[in-house]
Amino acid sequence: PESDIDMDEGLFDSVLKDLGEIIADTDLHICHLSLSASNSILKARPSTGALVKGHVLPASLELSKSALLQDPALTSLLNLLEQMVASGAIGFDELHKLLEAQMAGEGSKGSKQVISNLAQCIATIAVTSPSAKQEKFMKSTISAIKPSSTDVAATQLNLLVSGNFGRKVDVSKMKGVAQSMQKIYFESFDSSNEDIKHAAALALGRASVGAIDPFLPALLSALEGSSGKKQYLLFSSLREFIHCYRETEGSDLSSSVPMLLPPLEMNCGNEEEGVRAMVAECLGALACLEPKAILPVLQKLATDDSGKKVHIHWTVGNAVKFAIGGQINPTELAPFMPTFLE
């Protein structure tokens, strides 16, 4: 409790000032430690909110638009911003505007890494805000997505913000939001800009994690009639969904496996190497999550003797490689290895 911490406010002022001065992308490890220490102080002593806002936030905002920013410094930054909103050190609307302003400084040619980091920052603070504000925020974010806009960076940002938010919050509980998101994602696949298409694919995959029921069947249904570039994008959405789902605590995809397998099996022999690579990643990640369901399927595919067997065996080999890279349980994999190595 705050009353138990009898420390001079002037000391916090001095410490937070020093911490703010060493937040820079020139040393991301020191940066991570500084952000983490600032977060700990704010958690233990919420009354330091104004000091954190004055001394630490300016450098944190500068850091948020660095192309060098990545884990664990990025995680520490997200934790601090989340704590600042949760503790009332700064209001959501004010911090949202400040983060969007970092994007404006980047211009329309903001790097993918910067856009991705800022999208994570904005989505993180939105998840912390009250549910009434969340719905308004999401509707505003979706309406700002214009797939044909010349402001490519802003469109990418809003797509990723919506997907990152949907990964953590079930948007199907917000009236009309899930439907609007699906519509704008599929429209974005027809954009003339590759970066917008890619951002939409990631967003669709991530949003499916928080609301499987409306998103996953729509994604799989779209896959059925797709080909070429659109098919590749949809499989990259599926890959993102599986990867993100793996990171969810207590993740269990067993009930969705019967839905996921048909399009993956069907495209193991796809003529397009890019599509096969996506299928292999999906199968490899799924094998880590549900080895008992996926490994027998891969074993059956590995013995395929059809006209497409070269492509199919290539896909299976890569799926096994991805599963090993994803740290599949070796005891689950071992009985199948003789078949895979033939």
Q: Is 176 left (phi over 0), alpha (psi -120 to 50) or beta?
A: left
Rounded distance, CA 28 to CA 228, Å? Answer: 40
pLDDT confidence of residue 109: 55
pLDDT in tens, 229-270: 899 999 999 999 999 998 887 678 888 899 999 999 999 999
Rounded distance, CA 100 to CA 95, Å? Answer: 9
291 within 8 A of 333, measured Cβ to Cβ:
yes
Amino acid in the structure at residue 69: L
Q: How far is CA 26 from the centre of its chain?
A: 25
28 within 8 A of 70, measured Cβ to Cβ:
yes
Phi and psi of 74, rounded to 5°?
Answer: -65, -45
* Mean model confidence pLDDT for the chain: 91
Percent share of the chain, pLDDT over 90: 78
pLDDT in tens, 156-209: 999 999 999 999 999 999 999 999 999 999 999 999 999 999 999 999 999 999
Report the pLDDT averaged over residues 272-286. Answer: 95
The reply to whether the predicted model has a pTM over 0.75 is yes
Report the pLDDT averaged over residues 213-217. Answer: 94
Rounded distance, CA 50 to CA 138, Å? Answer: 28
Give per-residue burial for 305-339: e unless 16+ CB within 10 Å, then b: eeeeeebbbbbbebbbebbeebebeeeebeebeeb
Q: Which of 270, 257, 259, 168 has the alpha carbon at shortest distance from 229? A: 270
Q: Which long-range contacts (CB under 8 A, 24 or more apart) does 187-191 make?
A: 187/147, 188/145, 188/147, 188/155, 188/159, 189/230, 189/233, 189/234, 190/147, 191/147, 191/148
pLDDT in tens, 117-165: 999 999 999 999 988 899 999 999 999 998 888 889 999 999 999 999 9
pLDDT in tens, 19-64: 999 999 999 999 999 999 999 999 999 999 999 999 999 999 999 9
